[in-house]
Amino acid sequence: MSSDQEPTSVDKPKFTGRHMLGVVVTFFTVIFIANFTMVFFASKSWTGLVVKNSYVASQNFNKEIAAQEKFKKDGWQGNMQVEKGVFSFRLTKEGQAIEGCKIIGNLQRPVSEDQDYKLVFNLQTSGAYQASRSLKPGRWNLLLKAQCPDVAGTYTQRYQFTISSSAS
List C-alpha distances in Å: 40 to 28, 46, 63, 78, 112: 18, 11, 39, 41, 15
Model confidence at 37: pLDDT above 70? yes
Higher pLDDT, 42 or 39: 39
Higher pLDDT, 87 or 6: 87
- DSSP-derived 3-state class of residue 53: coil
Please give the average per-residue pLDDT across 125-129, as a whole number.
81
What is the model's pLDDT at position 4?
60
CA quadruple 43, 45, 48, 51: dihedral sign: positive
Question: Residue 130: beta bridge partners?
Answer: 88, 122
Q: In 3D, which of 57, 142, 66, 51 has the Cα closest to residue 104?
A: 142
Please give the average per-residue pLDDT across 86-95, as a whole number.
90
Domain 74-163, CATH class in plain words: mainly beta
Q: How many CA atoms lie within 13 A of 121 on its CB side?
A: 32
